[in-house]
Amino acid sequence: MTVAITKTENKAEKRAPKKGDGMPVPAEQRVFFHNISWQGYEKILEIVGDDRAARLTYDRGTLEITRPSESHETATRLIEKFIWIILFELRMKVKTMGSTTLNYPGLEKASEPDNCYYIQNQALVAGKKVDLKKDPPPDLVVEVDITYTNIDKPRLYAGMGVPKLWRYNGEVLRIYQLQDSRYVEVENSPTFPDWVSKTKLYEFLEAAIADEMDAEREI
Give the CATH number of the domain where residue 136 resides. 3.90.1570
pLDDT in tens, 42-97: 999 999 888 788 899 999 999 999 998 888 999 999 999 999 999 999 999 999 99
Half-sphere exposure of 144 (CA within 13 A, CB side): 25
pLDDT grade for 15, boundaries at 50, 70 and 90? very low
- Distance, CA of 102 to CA of 89 (rounded, Å): 28
Please report the pLDDT score of residue 145 as a whole number. Answer: 93
- Domain count within the chain: 1
Query: Which residues does 77 contact at the CB level (< 8 Å), separation at least 6?
Result: none
Alpha helices in the chain (DSSP H): 38-48, 70-89, 122-125, 153-160, 198-210, 212-218
Percentage of the residues of the chain whose pLDDT score is greater than 90:
72
CA atoms of 81 and 216, how far apart (whole Å)? 8
Is pLDDT of 104 > 80? yes
Q: CA 13 to CA 169: how far, in whole Å?
A: 8
Contact 126, 95 (CB under 8 A): yes
E-assigned strand segments in the chain: 4-7, 29-34, 55-59, 62-67, 95-96, 102-104, 109-111, 115-118, 140-144, 164-168, 173-179, 182-186
Strand partners, 26: 12
Q: Which residues of 22-35 are buried (b: 16+ CB within 10 A; e: fewer)?
A: eeebbbbbbebbee
CA dist 17 and 20 (Å) reads 9
pLDDT band at 196; cut points 50, 70, 90: confident
Domain that holds residue 97: 4-218
pLDDT at position 53, please? 82
Q: How confident is the model at residue 195 (pLDDT cuts 50, 70, 90)?
A: confident
- Are residues 201 and 79 in contact, defined by beta-carbon separation less than 8 angstroms? yes
Contact yes or no for 57/13 (Cβ under 8 A): no
User: Taking the model in full, what pTM does it have?
Assistant: 0.86
**Per-residue pLDDT at 177 exceeds 80:** yes
